[in-house]
Amino acid sequence: MTRGALMGAAMGAALMGAPAQAQGLMGELPGFRGKQAGDLVVGFGAIGVLPQKGGRVDAIGGKPEASDTLTPQLDLTYFLTSNLSLNLIAATSRHDVSVQGSALGDVDLGRVWVLPPTLTLQFHPLPAARLSPYVGAGVNYTVFYGEGGGRTPPVSKVDVENSWGWALNAGVDYALTPNWGLNLDVKKLFLRPDVSVNGGAIGARADLDPWIVGAALRYRF
């Protein structure tokens, strides 16, 4: 058999096998019943918290900036109906904060820990599908704590105020077994806390508006 014939036979076998592979990925899963009212789903995974750069700084000018970070996350989802669910995320992350391009140059404000519990109402258009996307919207309340670390003089104290914000959400679930699944999720938070430097000598607002991108393994009870 010539090389061309061998390649043709291999391509034909691959094309014939493709539907079977697709069926394995998207086909029926024995015992799978789809998403239903009353389902409680717990997930554990990792998220990347990616703040945007922007805001204002009184007196010295410049732009507030917070570093990106990767952290574990626990989330809980409860299905009100097969199409509607409530999702709550719990995670905490540490960020380096600074002011870039101020009259004093680049100013290091140290670090801050962030606890951003976010509650979203999610809509699942294909609750019976093994690969099931969703969209959502909700509210966030972010707690800032543990401000500290090295700072550029004359900065001696930084206080980031706790803040409410809105959230948009999209993601997809993929069932591995009737109870276990994988989740990919993206959230956009609209978060703009006030910042006080040196007891209020300098005021600022940080337009963080972070993206939260995550992946998790989930279990349905």
Gap between the Cα atoms of 207 and 103, Å rounded: 20
* 124: CB partners within 8 A, 6+ apart: 35, 82, 83, 84, 85, 132, 133, 134
Q: What is d(CA 123, CA 211) in angstroms, rounded to the nearest whole number?
A: 20
8 A C-beta contact, residue 207 and residue 54: yes
pLDDT digits (tens, 9 = 90+) for 29-63: 888 999 999 999 999 999 999 999 899 999 888 99
Q: What is the average pLDDT across 58-77? A: 94
Query: CA-CA distance, 31 to 172, in Å (whole number)?
Result: 20
Return phi, psi of residue 8, to 5°: -65, -40
Report the predicted TM-score, pTM, of the whole model to 2 decimal places: 0.82
pLDDT score, position 170: 98
Q: What is the model's pLDDT at position 8?
A: 46
What token pair was written down for 124? 């699942």
Nearest to 45 by CA among 180, 195, 197: 180
Query: Burial code of 66-88, b = ≥16 C-beta within 10 A, e = fewer?
Result: beebeeebebebebeeeebbebe
**Residue 74 pLDDT exceeds 80:** yes
